[in-house]
Every structure is written in C-alpha cells, then in structure tokens.
Chains A and B, each alone.
Chain A
Amino acid sequence: MLHAHDLHITFNAGTPIENRALRGLSLDIPQGQFVAVIGSNGAGKSTFLNAVSGELSLDSGVIEIDGVPVTRQPVWERAGRVARVFQDPLAGTCEDLTIEENMSLALSRGQPRGFARALDKSSRELFQERLAVLGLGLERRLSDRIGLLSGGQRQAVSLVMAALQPSRILLLDEHTAALDPKTAAFVLDLTTRIVAEHGLTTMMVTHSMRQALDVGERTVMLHEGKVVLDVSGPERKGMDVKDLLQLFEKVRGEELSDDALLLG
C-alpha cells in the first residue's frame, strides 16, 4: 500500500520559470486497489509518479510504501517495492539485450544479484509460460533482441516483466499513450488481466478521461499539484466523462479546458 502525505516539489524555485508542480499532494492507496490518476498537463501526474518511484526527490512531505518510509531512498533501493512500466517502450527495456535477458533483469528486481547464472532452464521455462499468455508468439523468440519488437509488443513484455516479482505498488506511466488505439486497447486489457491475476496495488497515470473511468476501481483527479477529485464505488460506476467534468467544475469553480484530456 502507498501512503503519500503533503508532497511538495517546486522546479527552478526563485526563478522566473518557477514551477510549483506538487503543492501539498496527499494520497493513500490501500493494498490491492487499482487507482487511475488523471489530470491536465501540468497538473502534477508525472511529477507525482516520479516522486513515488524515486526519480524525483521531494522538497517536503513523506512517502511510505507498506509502512516503510522510502522518501530518502534512490530509485534502485526502492525498486524491490516499486514496479514500473514507462510511457516510452524504448525507455522501459534494454534495446540491445534479448527478451529473456530483459526478463531476467526484471526477475531479479529487488533481489540481491550474485554470481549465479542470469539465465537457466527453469527461468527460461518461466518466461515462456508468462509470454505464451500474450498470444503474440514471443515465447518462441526469447533470444531475439528486444529492439526488434514493436512498441506494443514491448509494452506487453514490460507488463509481464513488472509482474515477474511481487511488488508493493505497480506504477503505470501513461503506458498506452505511445501506442495506436488497437494496440492500446490490447495492452490495457492485458493490464487489467495481469493486475487482477496477481492482485497488484496499482497506480495508473493516464491522459484519457475515458480510461480513467473505465479501468480500475477508483479515479483520482489532480489539478495544480493537489488531489481535487476522488471517486470510487457506486458513484463512480455510473459516471460518464461529462459527469466527471461537471464534478470538476463544481469543485474548482472553473472549467476544464485541456482538449487532449476531454477528447481522449
């Protein structure tokens, strides 16, 4: 479970381009919940996600994962608890390494790496088993360079990689944004399946209001570095995109004008 309390991050403080990205953001995600986080550009979604993963350090505030304060830990120290799928399929995998080598890296996430062989018969069998589910034939291409795969295929493999080791929180960083609609739908469907199968606590940042309502159990909207909307349960089930917009206007007293957010 994730506990984020009163997070503040300001970029370029004291200069003309000062950007107060997070202004006291607080969010708690209980064990096993799937939360979709939405917000317009500059709302702080990516900043928040990068703060949880450890790529950005906080100016103030506390982040705890399963009760353990991780605020001071660098990315690689938190990695045992935090699994992540990047938005850019290129950024989330090692292009020059093979599929099985990438998966081996993911399999050792959070484990002490010694001098045991990175690849052996039993790990290969595990990888084949997990990849076969995708229905893309990748289980027969374990020794192909992952750079040969398409973006959608790489995201699918990244998702499988993220589920190879248990994690306390899975961070999905607009992971379908770089894919065409059909592939995006495939990856999204795969996401819900994998999350359900492994019971993963998940935070999915998305730019699409449609996705934010359809996927997961709870929708959180960020605006100007804070949480402004938090809907779940029966209230959320009946909601449509325009309902979400009306709720936003009511709460903020202003209209939401980000086209990509509305049309996505």
Chain B
Amino acid sequence: MSLFSLLGALEIGLIFGLVALGVLISFRVLRFPDLTVDGSFPLGGAVAATLIAAGVNPFAATAAAVGAGAVAGFITGWLNVKLRIMDLLASILMMIALYSVNLRIMGRPNVPLINDDTVFTLSLPGMLPDYMERPLMVLLVVIVCKLLLDWFFATRQGLAMRATGSNPRMARAQGVATGRSVLGGMALSNGLVALAGALFVQSQGGADISIGIGTIVIGLAAVIVGESILPARRFFWITLAVILGALLYRIFIALALNSNFIGLQAQDLNLVTAVLVTFALVLPMIKKKLSRPARKPG
C-alpha cells in the first residue's frame, strides 16, 4: 500500500474516530443503542456542504453542522424520555426521518465541493502536500475533542451522565435529573458524529446522500475493536482505545481492499467489517482460553 493510500486511510480513520467517540457516549455511557448516527453523519455533511456551496464561511458551516447534529440527537432523546418511545425505535425513527431531511437540505442527491474553500484549504500552511497535512489537521481536531470529553466525564455532570447509563434508578435517588442527562448526552454524541460528517465531505470533496449508510456499524466496530485491543477502566484510555479502534478498522479495510491476492472488492466491504468485528468480539475469549493451563483428566 502506498503512502498516499495509507495517509488517506488514516485521514478517514481519524474522522471515524470522532464517530467512535460519539457512539461511545450513546452506546457505552448511556446504554442507548443509537441508530440516529446513520442520519446525523450525512446531516453534518449535508449542512456543511450546502452552506459552503452557498458561500458561507467553512468554519461557520462546520459549526452549523455540529449544531444540526446536536438537535437531531436531542430529538431522539426527547422521543425516548418524554414520549417514552423505546430507545432503539426512537433512533430508527430519527434515522428514517433524517434521510428526507438531508435530501431537502441538499436539494439534490449530492453536493460537490470542487473549488470551494473548506476548513482544510483555509487553515493548512501548505508546507507539505495536502494529503499529508489534512490527516494532521484531523488528528488535531480529534485530540481536542478527546481531551474535552476526558475532562467532561471527570466532572460532576459527566459522572451524573455515567450514572444515568449505569443505574438510572440509583442516579435519580442521588438527585440526578436523568431525563436531562440523556438529552444532553444524545445531543453531544450526535454533534460529534455530525462534525465527523462535516469534515468528511470537506475532505472527500462533496456530500452524497449515501455517505451515512453503515455509520453505526463503523462506530460500533471502532468501539468494540478498540476495547478489545486496549481494555481500560479510566476514561482517558477508553477514549484513546475507541479512536485507535476506528483507525485500525479503517486501515484493515484499506489493506483488505488493496491486496490483490485476496481479490476483495468494494462490495465486500460489509462482509469484511462483519468478520473483523466478530473476531474482535471473540478475541477476549480466545485470550482467556490460551492463558488457562490445560486440564488433565483424573
């Protein structure tokens, strides 16, 4: 695999790292299976691309994308908390609704960003070719988001959110407004995923209605692979683990698709993903079996 492909994989892998952080919050912290991300990732992309194509400053467009994602997550949470709709169903409803919303926002199935300024073109110093500088900039964004999350979950509000997911009844008995916690967490999670979507379209040169399909799978794969590789208690390591999981996932996919001798093609992507995630789930069990001494009969 060439340096160009590797860096390209890293760039997308890091963007998926943001998705992984979002899924970490909803799936692991809040225990809320959230399919909204299949809709909020392209939502972020659609809002950013449409605004940029209309001449809006890319940074403002990206911020608007994050806001849109947060609203989407908030609505999913609201369906669950206020209307008492089951979490998984609420997220599926939002995912479905967002498909139409995204089409409306874009006005057409895709929005190209060929000559427009992006957050990349405006901030990269241009000392290295941009296929090298872009991953570095995404890395910076990921690090900042990671550290902010690490800080947040060490605060009292963050602890309250973790308790909301772990044992909501006990959390309420300790005075935590669990409804608000869920709403906040869902907004945060989908805001991050929308940020990823906004960066994705600016990095890939345009938004398309189909970029969101399978986002939840990517997020879950990253979280599961990451936890498998780097099991951890402390939040600092957990967030690092899921980002690494996203990177590994993306590089693995890139390797699999690039190796000619296996003969895999783009349409095999989902199968490869499924095999990888299954392996990651089974890995801890295999490790345990290998470390246990063999039992002798009698």
Is B100 an interface position by the 8 A CB rule?
no
Q: A104–B175 contact, CB under 8 A?
A: no
Is A11 an interface position by the 8 A CB rule?
no
Residue total for B at the interface (Cβ-Cβ under 8 A): 23
| A76 with B156, Cβ < 8 A, contacts A93-B167, A97-B163 known | no
| A111 with B175, Cβ < 8 A, contacts A104-B159, A117-B155, A118-B154 known | yes
CB < 8 Å: which of A94, A104, A115 contacts B170? A94
State in angstroms the CA–CA spacing of A86 and B167 once bound together.
Answer: 13
State in angstroms the CA–CA spacing of A110 and B159 once bound together.
Answer: 15
Q: A118–B170 contact, CB under 8 A?
A: no
B153-177 vs A, Cβ < 8 Å mask (1 yes, 0 no): 0111111101100110111111111
Contacts of B162 in A (CB 8 A): 94, 96-97, 101
Q: B156–A115 contact, CB under 8 A?
A: yes
Is A218 an interface position by the 8 A CB rule?
no
Q: A80–B155 contact, CB under 8 A?
A: no
Contacts of A96 in B (CB 8 A): 162, 166
Q: B170–A76 contact, CB under 8 A?
A: no
Q: B176–A104 contact, CB under 8 A?
A: no
| A109 with B154, Cβ < 8 A, contacts A91-B169, A94-B170, A101-B159 known | no
Q: A118–B174 contact, CB under 8 A?
A: no
Is B178 an interface position by the 8 A CB rule?
yes
Q: A109–B159 contact, CB under 8 A?
A: no
Is A119 an interface position by the 8 A CB rule?
yes
| A110 with B175, Cβ < 8 A, contacts A95-B167, A105-B163 known | yes
| A76 with B169, Cβ < 8 A, contacts A105-B160, A115-B157 known | no
B169-195 vs A, Cβ < 8 Å mask (1 yes, 0 no): 111111111100000000000000000
| A114 with B167, Cβ < 8 A, contacts A53-B173, A79-B175 known | no
Is A75 an interface position by the 8 A CB rule?
yes
Q: A79–B156 contact, CB under 8 A?
A: no
Contacts of A111 in B (CB 8 A): 175
Contacts of B175 in A (CB 8 A): 76-77, 79-80, 108-111, 113
State in angstroms the CA–CA spacing of A22 and B18 once bound together.
Answer: 52
Minimum CB distance partner of A144 in chain B: B233
A32-66 vs B, Cβ < 8 Å mask (1 yes, 0 no): 00000000000000000000010000000000000
Contacts of B173 in A (CB 8 A): 53, 75-76, 79, 82, 84, 86, 92, 109
Contacts of B167 in A (CB 8 A): 91, 93-95
Q: B176–A105 contact, CB under 8 A?
A: yes
Nearest CB on A from B158, distance (A): 7
Q: B169–A119 contact, CB under 8 A?
A: no
Minimum CB distance partner of B166 in chain A: A94
Residues 92-136 (chain A) with a chain B CB within 8 angstroms? 92-98, 101, 104-106, 108-111, 113-119
Nearest CB on A from B75, distance (A): 22
CB < 8 Å: which of B154, B170, B233 contacts A117? B154
B245-261 vs A, Cβ < 8 Å mask (1 yes, 0 no): 00000000000000000
CB < 8 Å: which of B152, B154, B159, B178 contacts A76? B178
Contacts of B157 in A (CB 8 A): 113-115
Q: Give the interface centre of B155, B167, B171, B175 by most chain A CB atoms within 10 Å.
A: B175
Q: Give the interface centre of B156, B163, B173, B177 by most chain A CB atoms within 10 Å.
A: B173
State in angstroms the CA–CA spacing of A138 and B175 once bound together.
Answer: 25
Contacts of B177 in A (CB 8 A): 76
Interface pairs (18), CB distance under 8 Å:
A75-B172, A79-B174, A80-B175, A86-B170, A91-B167, A91-B170, A94-B163, A96-B162, A101-B159, A105-B159, A105-B160, A105-B163, A108-B156, A108-B175, A109-B175, A113-B156, A113-B175, A117-B156
- 7 A-B pairs with the lowest CB-CB distances in the bound complex, closest first: A79-B175, A113-B156, A118-B159, A94-B166, A75-B172, A115-B155, A94-B167
Apart from A75-B173, A93-B170: 17 A-B pairs, beta carbons within 8 A: A75-B172, A76-B173, A77-B175, A79-B175, A86-B173, A91-B167, A92-B170, A93-B167, A94-B162, A94-B167, A101-B162, A105-B163, A105-B171, A114-B155, A115-B155, A116-B155, A145-B233
